Amino acid sequence: MAPAQPVLSDAFSRVVKKHREKRKLSRAALAEMSGLHQTYIGLLERGERSPNLDTAKSIAAALGISLGKLITEAERSQNR
């Protein structure tokens, strides 16, 4: 039996965290910039929550990148 492929939402969470840290933003700062609660950002980054499309777009905008880029990176990360 082949090993399970990583879930896209987990890969998305890792990509969000990578970009947040790259921009030297705290979870609280990203939350404020995206109109979300910092607890939600933490849950997302730990893979305990998955954002809907509107929320994901708000996070991407706060990170200064497109939602498409975040998803593409997550897909590439997932396939490694």
Secondary structure of the chain as H, E, C letters: CCCCCCCHHHHHHHHHHHHHHHCCCCHHHHHHHHCCCHHHHHHHHCCCCCCCHHHHHHHHHHHCCCHHHHHHHHHHHHCC
Domain of residue 67: give its range.
8-78
Question: Which residues, 6 or more positions from 80, have their beta carbon under 8 angstroms from its beta carbon?
Answer: none
Any domain includes 66 = yes
69 pLDDT above the threshold of 90:
yes
Any domain includes 1 = no
What is the pLDDT confidence band of residue 2, given thresholds at 50, 70 and 90? very low
Any domain includes 47 = yes
Distance CA 29, CA 38 (A): 8
What's the pLDDT score for residue 79? 79
Any domain includes 3 = no
18 pLDDT above the threshold of 80:
yes
